[in-house]
Structure 1
Amino acid sequence: MLVLNRVLFRPFLKFFEERHTRIYGTQEEAERLKGKTEGMISRYEEELKEGRLRALEEKLKIREEAKQKAREIIEEVQGKIQKEIPAAREQIRKETEKALEELKERTEEMAREVAEKILGRSLA
């Protein structure tokens, strides 16, 4: 029995112990790696979520800055237009007066020409 114990049982028991250690050690290592991987995935997803949130905030900030810049430009242009309106009105008024004066002169000249043709003589 002693010989069988040394030759057969001990190697057989050693083989089963090694097998058990390999199987359960591998399972434990797999569980440890799985937990580590899940933790990494969780951190990655959280960082991704935070990154998306920061990107959205930056996008909204840029959009608001663009709107503000557009408002400033519009206000500046409106201010310039308001300053130019009185000068433009004055120019229109002067041009209208000039055109009316020219029209009056031309009307008088045309009336004289018509009268001369009707009368057949010069009205000078």
Structure 2
Amino acid sequence: MDPRELILSAIAAREYSYCPYSGFAVGAALLGESGKIYGGCNIESCSYSPTNCAERTALYKAVSEGERRFLALAVVGGKQRGALQETAPCGVCRQMLYEFCPPGMPVFLAVSETDYTKTTLGELLPRGFAPDMLD
């Protein structure tokens, strides 16, 4: 899979970031099994706790529209007016992604459409807690 389109979608989603407190803007793009790309940005709150990360915003958009299986994720981040820097999902996002995504799903941590690190969800969350563990 060529990740450039996914990374460009994450960069575009980052433009909508609402991050007046941290100044750290994040964009994510999640590729559904349907072929649709779901973009998300981080949305901060002055009370911090209700803040939502870009990865969960993209995931929640997708799930709320009926998508349940995913093929890849791209994440970009950095200070609002600064250059992008490699940014990985937080622990909460990794766990939420593990709910819907296979451990082998590629995750692209990008600083541009051609400069990125490819990893997997399983590498980001080894020995993750999966829904089938509750059976």
Question: How would you bin the TM-score normalised by the shorter chain?
Answer: under 0.3
Q: Which of these two proteins has the greater Rg computed from alpha carbons?
A: 1
The structure that is strand-richer by fraction is 2
| TM-score (structure 1 length as normaliser) | 0.15
TM-score by length of 2: 0.14
